[in-house]
Structure 1
């Protein structure tokens, strides 16, 4: 009887801990989003292939992963995004040959033909930044401001296969595995929290870096995030 009672307590506390890990940190799917984005950005195609398989096994749909790989191009460029898409195509072919049927998932909702990308993107950017984004850089190079508002926040963020929060996980993970982009990483820690990422979830992203990507990247991201939290 005593042994049964002890086992019951273990099961209750174990279940509670599992729920806490799921809600406060990252889900398994979100952890795989971090790895896929980070390895795409660094061009580590060998580890990308592993993370793509793990992502599918964790429940990410084919269209979600395609959207993740497309989104990364805004930060690491077309060459690495295209390389990532090529690896993903091979992964899907190999899995199909093994008889694995992956869920395709839904496609994007058609974007309204009358949507003005710059106006929509300005609204999205302002919402994520918490205030209208302006400054000397955008006065000096107004084309950059137009492309950021119209294409990045208007066209890319306007695609609804993955939500804003997931797009910020993708962005933080990509920037976190690149060098020389700490100002942008800091900015997206802020944007990520404005999009709904909790402090625990961002720490979860950094934990994935520590355990799966690289200690140096994890250390750098943690230092940047600590400075962002102090400034907020």
Structure 2
């Protein structure tokens, strides 16, 4: 339950939070990606010699989250039962796909899939403020909010007009933060997504969210349709310890 003091604090940091959202929204909405031809970039050509036994790669073994390699898979907490996988088209591309998986006795079952966008310059394993790239990694999902009322999520939800983007942003971004889910990259989890605290320092960026899509790349967030955001918000359950696993396809598979 949020206290009156917490509500006042949220209102007080709202403007500062939006100003410091280095990862979200946009001083510009033009997609600056598209500098490569997709996830094949960096992959080794060819395959096994003819006649050689075909062995499933670890990231494609039944029971594993599809397309996620050993290193990143090992970072998914043992108690996580929900994974939001963000498969970037390529390291320098702003196009991606978001897939929700839930763990059952047989493995990870796909619950939904949506076209999405990520940072307009693609992905990075060393994210910094204003690099216009989304951070690669595994991050927990604990907090949500937006301009619109709670659509039925079990995540703690901050309903506030303070999520409204600044008036000087492009018109097509005006609804970006109608729904948001904070990605726990360089933030304090368990508080409103509006809070501007950056535990690793401001230079490492922050304000990396799942939010509504405006049709092109972001400054570092991951964006999906309104229907997609509503579905994710209604599905995510703190009791299932949801996480997001995100990056370009080649890096997700090899990391």
TM-score range, shorter chain: under 0.3
TM-score, scaled to structure 2: 0.25
Query: 1 or 2 for the larger relative contact order (CA 8 Å, sep ≥6)?
Result: 2
Q: Choose between structure 1 and 2: higher helix proportion.
A: 1
TM-score by length of 1: 0.27
Q: Which has the larger radius of gyration?
A: 1
Q: Which has the higher strand share?
A: 2
